[in-house]
Chains A and B, each alone.
Chain A
Amino acid sequence: MSQRPSNAPLHDNTVRASIAFLVMAGLLILIGVTQSWALALTILNLCIISAIMALGVNIQWGYAGLFNVGIMGFAALGGLATIIISMPPVKEAWQAGGMRVLLALITILATISAALFVHKLFQGKRLHGWLIAVVIIIGVVISRYILDPGVAAIEAVNPASTGYLGGLGLPVVFAWIVGGCLAAGAAWLIGKIALGLRSDYLAIATLGISEILVAVMRNEDWLTRGVKNVTGLPRPVPYELELQQAPWFINLVERLNSGSLAGLNSTDHTAVLQTLVVDSASIFVKLCYTGLFALVLILILQLCVLALDSPWGRMVRAIRDNEVAADAMGKDVTGRHLQIFILGSAVVGIAGAMLATLDGQFTPGSYSPLRFTFLIWVMVIVGGSGNNLGAVLGGFLVWLIWVEAEPVGFWLMDALTSWMGDGSGLRKHLLDSAQYMRVIIMGAVLLLVMRFSPWGLLPEQNR
Chain B
Amino acid sequence: MTDYLNALVVFANFVFVPALTYGCQLALGSLGVTMIYSVLRFSNFAQGETMAFGTVITIMVTWLLQSWGVSLGFLPTALLALPIGILVTALVLLLTDRYVYRYYRTKRSKSITFVMASLGVMFIMNGVVRLLLGPNDQNFADGERFFLTADAFRAWTGLDEALVIRTSQALTIILAVILVVALFWFLQRTKTGKAMRAYADNENLALLSGINPDRIVRITWIITAALATVAGVLYGLDKGYKPLSYYNLLLPIFAAVIVGGIGKPIGAIVGGFIIAFSEVIVTYAYKKVLTYVLPTDMAPDGLVQLLSTEYKFAVSFVILVIVLLVKPTGLFKGKVL
Interface of A is mostly: helix
Check A327 for interface membership: any CB of B closer than 8 A. Answer: no
Interface membership of chain A positions 424-457, coded 1 if the CB is closer than 8 angstroms to chain B and 0 otherwise: 0000010011001111101110110011000000
Which among A201-209, A255-263, A266-274 touches the partner chain? Answer: A201-209
CB pair B115 A67 closer than 8 Å: yes
Residue-wise, chain B 89-113 has the 8 Å CB interface mask toward A (1 for contact) of: 0000000000010011000011111
Task: Flag whether B187 is at the interface (Cβ < 8 A).
Answer: no
- Does B126 sit within 8 A of A, measured CB to CB? yes
What is the count of residue pairs linking A and B with beta-carbon distances less than 8 angstroms? Answer: 134
Contact B116 A450 (CB under 8 A): yes
A446 near B310: Cβ-Cβ < 8 Å? no
Place the interface of chain A in its size category: 35 or more
Q: Would you list 19 pairs from A and B whose C-beta atoms are within 8 A, ordered by A residue?
A: A1-B116, A67-B112, A193-B325, A194-B324, A197-B337, A199-B111, A200-B115, A205-B320, A207-B250, A208-B317, A209-B317, A212-B311, A212-B317, A215-B314, A219-B311, A437-B127, A439-B127, A440-B127, A446-B123
Q: Is A129 an interface residue (CB 8 A)?
A: yes
B119 on the interface (CB 8 Å rule)? yes
The interface-forming segment of B128-136, B165-173, B188-196 is: B128-136
Q: Which of B43, B110, B123, B311 contacts A370 (CB 8 A)?
A: B123
Q: Which residue of A lies closest to B337 (CB)?
A: A198
Assuming the contacts A197-B328, A198-B336, A199-B110, asked whether A211 and B117 have C-beta atoms less than 8 A apart, the reply is no
- In whole angstroms, what is the CA distance A122 to B248 when docked? 37
How far does the alpha carbon of A361 sit from the alpha carbon of B157 in the complex, in Å?
57
B216 at the interface (CB under 8 A from A): no
Query: Which chain A residues in 207-230 approach chain B with CB under 8 Å?
Result: 207-209, 211-212, 215-216, 218-219
| Interface residue SS majority, chain B | helix
Distance to closest chain B CB from A244 (angstroms): 40
A205 touches B324 (CB 8 A): yes
Do A205 and B123 touch across chains, with their CB atoms under 8 A apart? Answer: no
In the docked arrangement, what's the CA distance between A173 and B46, Å? 39
Taking a contact as CB atoms under 8 Å apart, the answer to whether A440 and B120 are in contact is no
The B-contacting residues of A in range 51-72, CB under 8 angstroms, are: 65, 67, 69
Report yes or no: B326 in contact with A451, Cβ–Cβ below 8 A. Answer: no
Q: Does A410 contact B (CB under 8 A)?
A: no
Chain A residues within 8 Å of B, Cβ to Cβ: 1, 65, 67, 69, 129, 193-194, 197-201, 203-205, 207-209, 211-212, 215-216, 218-219, 369-370, 374, 377, 381, 429, 432-433, 436-440, 442-444, 446-447, 450-451
Q: Give bound CA distance, A292 to B169, whole Å.
A: 57
Tell me, yes or no, whether B39 is within 8 Å of chain A by CB: no
Assuming the contacts A374-B119, A433-B130, asked whether A443 and B124 have C-beta atoms less than 8 A apart, the reply is yes
Alpha-carbon separation in the docked complex, A289 to B196 (Å) = 58
Task: Tell whether, in the assembled complex, residue A450 and residue B117 are in contact, meaning their CB atoms are under 8 Å apart.
Answer: yes
Distance A442 CA – B43 CA, assembled complex (angstroms) = 21
B126 to A439, Cβ gap below 8 A?
yes
Query: How far does the alpha carbon of A391 sit from the alpha carbon of B123 in the complex, in Å?
Result: 21
Is the CB of B308 closer than 8 A to any CB of chain A? Answer: yes
Name the contact of A200 in the complex, choosing from B112, B250, B320 (C-beta under 8 A). Answer: B112
**B286 is an interface residue with CB less than 8 A from chain A:** no
A65–B247 contact, CB under 8 A? no
- Pick the residue among A197, A215, A447 that contacts B117 (CB under 8 A): A447
Q: A207-B251, A212-B311, A377-B116 are in contact. List 19 more A-B contacts (CB 8 A).
A: A129-B326, A197-B328, A199-B115, A200-B42, A204-B258, A207-B254, A208-B313, A208-B317, A211-B248, A211-B313, A212-B317, A369-B247, A370-B126, A436-B128, A439-B130, A440-B128, A444-B124, A447-B100, A451-B103
A432 to B133, CA, bound (A): 11
Partner of A436, one of B130, B316, B324, B336: B130
Closest beta carbon of chain A to B209's beta carbon, Å: 28
Partner of A203, one of B110, B115, B134, B314: B115
Instruction: Tell me if B321 counts as interface (CB < 8 A to partner A).
Output: yes
Q: Measured between alpha carbons, how far is A109 from B317 in the docked complex, in Å? A: 20
Closest to B128 in A: A440
Does B45 count as interface, using CB distance less than 8 angstroms? yes
Query: Once the chains bind, are A67 and B127 in contact (CB under 8 Å)?
Result: no
B116, B258, B311, B335 — which one has the most chain A CB atoms within 10 A of its CB?
B116
Which B residues between 303 and 337 are near A, CB-CB below 8 angstroms? 308, 310-311, 313-314, 316-317, 320-321, 324-326, 328, 335-337
